[in-house]
Amino acid sequence: MDPNCAPTVALITGANSGLGYAIACRLIVEFFAPRTDGYPAVASDDSTLVVCLATRSVEKAHSAIASINIFLSSRLPEAVRSRLQLAHVVMDLSSPTSVIAAATELRKKYHRIHYVFCNAAVVPFVRIDWSMAAKQMATDFIGALTVPRYKIQGVGWLTKIHPHGSHATEVPPELGAAFAANVFGHYYLLHEIMETLHMSPAAPGVPSRIIWVGSIESNPLTFDIDDIQGIKSTQPYESSKTLTDILVLGSYLPEAGEYFRSYTTIPSPRNPITSAESHPPIFLIAHPGIVSTTIVAIPWWQTYAKNVGFWLCRAFGSPWHCIDPFVGANAPVWLALSPHVDLIKGRKWGSACLWGNREMVLETQVDSDIAAHSAQLWSQMETLRKLWKARLEPQG
């Protein structure tokens, strides 16, 4: 295929709901129609766009595709919509076996994938600690609805996986539940589709961008380098998001260079000579601020109260309460389409919004000591990936 006619391909995990669905909608609109607010600069594109929705079932993908088509019917003219293809792949990120099957399908379908949004995530939510909630709300209302300390999570929750192969006894057959879905499933997937993420010297352009969805709730106190899966953590969700910060921002540091190179090497290149000259993808990180989704399953009346609280936070001046997932998708989509990738990489960006819906992308402070942890983290991630690879694909 002539590389100049090849479509631009974006893969979005968790694309059937919340932020992932909004990223799909916003990416399509901004890919085809230049932004009118003048900031930040985003290029419009006149080629074909393929958006591949990764979901846990075919039904969820079909339902999301139907909704996206309805959304676009009032946003883009028919002629432009004809340059869009909506595709899907079924994948459970908690299951390396499912990830491998999805990766095989993706490699067959796409020669090159330009953007991957690592968006899917779970919060192992158990209940709200109401006395803690009352205390935090009374002393720091905006903080309580930005970084809640009253969300009680399951400690030691694991995925159930049944591995095969010679290394079956070297690591326990489970992964930390939040770690598996939020980080490791994506990490494993990206390596499995690495050949589609490399920019070939025959078709130079911009390297593929991996946009990891982080969180404003990242906190170094929730992360332990000796428990990267967060199995002992009382805040495994925050641990997984802090790990994501270190993984992405550490990928630029010389300390982690050796591991990043090993990770981004194409496993079995079709053409070893061109593969040696090809350009690996880059890691970027964005968070959506705070948006109203069902990531924490609470009853309807609590959802209602939470949304009222979010609006109050915005009224009191919080820039992070984007509330609408489409607004929250601003920073992730900007990282994908911005022509200024050299300026934005190596930093964490967040979607922000002021009263009156003035949208912004703001750089977000990262409190973790990236340099101190990146080599150790990357080394552990690579060791774990290779162990799972040997267990699940012993012939490889």
Distance CA 334, CA 115 (A): 12
Instruction: Indicate the residue among 280 and 328 with the shorter CB distance to ligand NAP.
Output: 328
| Smallest separation, CB 105 to ligand NAP (Å) | 15
**Contact (CB, 8 A) for 165 and 392:** yes
Instruction: Indicate the residue among 43 and 126 with the shorter CB distance to ligand NAP.
Output: 126
Residue with tokens 């209602």: 304
Instruction: Indicate the residue among 216 and 256 with the shorter CB distance to ligand NAP.
Output: 216
Distance CA 326, CA 70 (A): 15
| Smallest separation, CB 12 to ligand NAP (Å) | 9
| Smallest separation, CB 92 to ligand NAP (Å) | 5
| Smallest separation, CB 34 to ligand NAP (Å) | 26
**Backbone dihedral angles phi then psi of residue 221, each to the nearest 5 degrees:** -70, -15
| Smallest separation, CB 74 to ligand NAP (Å) | 23
**Contact (CB, 8 A) for 68 and 23:** no
| Smallest separation, CB 337 to ligand NAP (Å) | 19
| Smallest separation, CB 348 to ligand NAP (Å) | 12
Instruction: Indicate the residue among 194 and 322 with the shorter CB distance to ligand NAP.
Output: 322
Distance CA 330, CA 142 (A): 22
| Smallest separation, CB 1 to ligand NAP (Å) | 30
| Smallest separation, CB 202 to ligand NAP (Å) | 34
Instruction: Indicate the residue among 13 and 264 with the shorter CB distance to ligand NAP.
Output: 13
Tokens of 370: 């990236």
Q: Cβ-closest residue to ligand NAP? A: 18
The answer for 282, left when phi > 0, alpha when psi is -120 to 50, beta otherwise, is beta
| Smallest separation, CB 162 to ligand NAP (Å) | 16
User: Which residues are at the interface with ligand NAP (CB under 6 A)?
Assistant: 13-14, 16-20, 56, 60, 91-94, 119-122, 181, 213, 215-216, 287-288, 290-291, 293-295
Tokens of 332: 């992730």
Instruction: Indicate the residue among 280 and 325 with the shorter CB distance to ligand NAP.
Output: 325
Instruction: Indicate the residue among 199 and 285 with the shorter CB distance to ligand NAP.
Output: 285
Instruction: Indicate the residue among 120 and 190 with the shorter CB distance to ligand NAP.
Output: 120
Burial (0-12, 13-18, 19+ Cβ within 10 Å), 46: exposed
Torsion of CA 152, 377, 179, 261, to 10 degrees: 150
Instruction: Indicate the residue among 76 and 331 with the shorter CB distance to ligand NAP.
Output: 331
Instruction: Indicate the residue among 287 and 373 with the shorter CB distance to ligand NAP.
Output: 287
